[in-house]
Amino acid sequence: MSHVHPTRPGLPEPTLTSDTHAPCRNAGSTDTPDRPALPVQHGGPSPYGLARFNSAPAVEAVALLLSCCHSRRWAERVSAHRPYPTRDALLAAAEEAGYDLSRADLDEALAAESPVPPRPDAPLAARTALRAAHAAYESRFGHAFVISLAGVGPGERLDQVLAGIRSRLGNEPEEERVVAADELRGLARARLAFRLAGESGYRHSVR
């Protein structure tokens, strides 16, 4: 089963550049004289805003997008279609572009993901179970487990991740690539919304 979807209309391919970028595992920042450091870490809320995203230099916009999904082709494509009239239009375009990730694009994005950690105050048994589940998943599929937890309550996240890993371990590798690509689109959308508006729907930890 292939994860590649037909190209969607209305989103022509931009010319690729060699802008410096920051991977998702160790997200960096881009400074300019009149701007604070670009908030690309997976942690706290961002005051970045749509207007600034629309007007930012391409290298800065791409860096922010790469912190949401580490596919350079995806990030440059979404950046190239600025300005976006609304936040929802940007999120829709980001999701749409995610359907056209090539196999190499998906590999690049998945390689930059890291396992979802438990909260520090989670019980030891739960942390141990989660580590073991992540290790089993990575051993079978060769990349970190990805899942979008947008809309999942804090008390339900650990169970959601564990159940997801255990369920998806039974997938064939190509079947799992399709599932992982779908989850990555949701995760990228949630991260981008969080960057733009400081929303609390995405957290890169579970409990």
Highest-confidence range of 42-46, 138-142, 202-206, by mean pLDDT? 138-142
180 within 8 A of 110, measured Cβ to Cβ: yes
Total-model pTM: 0.72
For every residue of 151-168, DSSP letters joined together read T--GGGHHHHHHHHHHHH
Q: What is the pLDDT of residue 47?
A: 52
40 within 8 A of 10, measured Cβ to Cβ: no
Cα distances from 71 to residues 50, 52, 102, 117, in angstroms, run 21, 22, 10, 22
pLDDT category at 42 given cuts 50, 70, 90 is very low
pLDDT category at 152 given cuts 50, 70, 90 is confident
Q: How far apart are CA 205 and CA 76, in angstroms?
A: 28
Q: What is the pLDDT of residue 15?
A: 29
Task: Inform me whether the pLDDT recorded for 34 exceeds 80.
Answer: no
Weakest mean pLDDT among 5-9, 19-23, 40-44: 19-23
pLDDT digits (tens, 9 = 90+) for 57-87: 999 999 999 999 999 999 999 999 999 999 9
What domains are there in the chain, each with its CATH number? 110-197 (1.10.3330.10)
Task: Inform me whether the pLDDT recorded for 151 exceeds 70.
Answer: yes
Q: Quick one: tokens of 78?
A: 């979404």
